[in-house]
Amino acid sequence: MSGGVVEMINYKTLFSEDVACFRSSPIREVLKNVDISKIYSFSGGYPAPETFPLKSLNSLTQRVVDKYGDKTLQYGDTRGVPEFRKAIAERYDLDVEKVQITSSSQQGIDVCARILLNPGDVVLCENPCYLGALNSFYSYQAEVVGLDLSQSFEASQRRVEEVEKLLAEGKKIKFFYVIPDFQNPGGHTLSLAQRAEIVSLARRFGFLIVEDSPYREIRFEGEDVASIYSIAPDITLHLGSISKVFAPGLRLGWVIAEPELLNTIFVCKQSLDLCPNILSQYLALEFLESGELDKNLLESRKIYKRKRDKLESLLEKYLPEGSSWTQPQGGLFIFVTLPESLDVTALFPEAIKRGVAYVPGSYFFTDGSHRNTMRLSFSFIDEEKMETGMEILSKLLKENL
């Protein structure tokens, strides 16, 4: 090439090897040219907009400007605004050195992957699993192995055998990724026994746990189960987020872990984006410290419970016989299993055409199986629109039985 003139550049020859493993969200692909506001949407993992403290935003801004002045608009600490880090540490009753603020908890997932994964490394996860996490792991050329977490002696034996098989093949398992509370997409919550088993697997075979916990505070029924971090703080990276308790548009999350792990994340974050959004951190701090966050959370839980009740009653009324679904005690999602013959992955484009959206469950399985399942979100859609949406969906399903 030297000496010649390159007329047209072929970008592909310049891309890194990671790029070949990038996967775009299939949901975003299908919805790309769709005006989602015209659709009865049970698809996106969007929080209920009626829980947003939109009316307080101005007052929060005013107070933040008065209290912190210029600092609200300047660069800040890579670890996070000190007062905000401290407030989060206090909420978890932890030392501030164990808190790193991130630009969304998706960044928390990604930075864990970045500091831990080499090409070919294995991430274990529950099957099905949150798509944004899967795509992050794939993008580092990792192999993701989905495990069935059901509780029985045999299932537990099978899990140990699977792990041993991977190790026997010479593979390196770096961490177990898990959303223990109100899982995305499953909606279910892991029992204390299930959490303890993940911890014991990790200890036995020497890997870490990434505990993704964005929905934990949206519990509207039942009792809290101890977080994995609280059981095994030395081997767990716990991810939190303000997205479901304040506003996702502010893109703030945090990683809680041992300082030795956080120091590596801190250095990484310097080159990722220097520091998290400063204004958003002060707004979240003020929202938290004034007590508005907890007050808002009480209201939000009521809203989510009402919406879940409504959707459940509609599932009862409209889904074909032989369908079943999870009964979430919190979070945003219900996971539906339809009669075997129904391939709702194939039906997805037709559903969109008719004006109703769900997410095919197969998208969340590492092997693309379970094509008769779907994730329904009860959070974003207006309550008054739910029934019409379900009618459209029900008609489509029954036509294809």
Angle ∠(316,351,49) on CA atoms, nearest 5: 70
Find the binder of a copy of itself among 9, 95, 154, 340 (CB under 8 A): 9
Q: Tell me the number of residues near a copy of itself by CB under 8 A.
A: 93
- Among positions 56-75, residues that touch a copy of itself (CB under 8 A) are 57-58, 61-62, 65, 69-75
Piece in contact with a copy of itself (CB under 8 A), picked from 87-95, 187-195, 268-276, 311-319: 268-276
3-state secondary structure the chain: CCCCCCCCCCHHHHCCHHHHHCCCCHHHHHHCCCCHHHCEECCCCCCCHHHCCHHHHHHHHHHHHHHHHHHHCCCCCCCCCHHHHHHHHHHHCCCHHHEEEECCHHHHHHHHHHHHCCCCCEEEEECCCCHHHHHHHHHCCCEEEEECCCCCHHHHHHHHHHHHHHHHCCCCEEEEEECCCCCCCCCCCCCHHHHHHHHHHHHHHCCEEEEECCCCCCECCCCCCCCHHHHCCCCEEEEEECCCCCCHHHCCEEEECCHHHHHHHHHHHHHHHCCCCHHHHHHHHHHHHCCHHHHHHHHHHHHHHHHHHHHHHHHHHHCCCCCEECCCCECCEEEEECCCCCCHHHHHHHHHHHCEECEEHHHHCCCCCCCCEEEEECCCCCHHHHHHHHHHHHHHHHHCC
User: In the complex with a copy of itself, which residue's Cβ is closer, 264 or 323?
Assistant: 264
Q: Determine if 271 is a binding residue for a copy of itself (CB under 8 A).
A: yes
Is 33 a residue that touches a copy of itself (CB under 8 A)? no
Of 86, 89, 94, 114, which one interacts with a copy of itself (CB under 8 A)? 114
Residue 359 beta carbon to a copy of itself: minimum distance, rounded to whole angstroms: 15
| 106 in contact with a copy of itself (CB under 8 A) | yes
The residue within the footprint of a copy of itself, chosen from 83, 162, 258, 292 (CB under 8 A), is 258
How far apart, in whole angstroms, are the C-alpha atoms of residue 40 and residue 130?
22
Decide if residue 31 touches a copy of itself (CB under 8 A): no
Q: Pick one of 26, 30, 34, 46: the residue that binds a copy of itself (CB under 8 A).
A: 46
**Per CB under 8 A, does 88 bind a copy of itself?**
no
Identity of the amino acid at 103: S
Least distance between a copy of itself and beta carbon 135 (Å): 5
Nearest Cα neighbor of 276 from 242, 231, 227 is: 242
> Among the candidate windows 93-101, 201-209, 212-220, 361-369, which touches a copy of itself by CB under 8 A?
201-209
Residue of 151, 191, 270, 327 that binds a copy of itself (CB under 8 A): 270
240 scored as a contact of a copy of itself (CB under 8 A)? no
Q: Binding to a copy of itself by residue 400, rule CB under 8 A?
A: no
Q: Which of 82, 249, 322, 349 binds a copy of itself (CB under 8 A)?
A: 249
Q: Which stretch binds a copy of itself (CB under 8 A): 255-263, 286-294, 325-333, 364-372?
A: 255-263
* Contact call for residue 41 and a copy of itself (CB under 8 A): no
For a copy of itself, give the closer residue by CB, 118 or 191. 118
- 247 forms part of the interface with a copy of itself (CB under 8 A): yes
170 part of the interface to a copy of itself, by CB under 8 A: no
276 in contact with a copy of itself (CB under 8 A)? yes
* Choices 16-24, 183-191, 326-334, 337-345 (CB under 8 A): range interacting with a copy of itself: 16-24
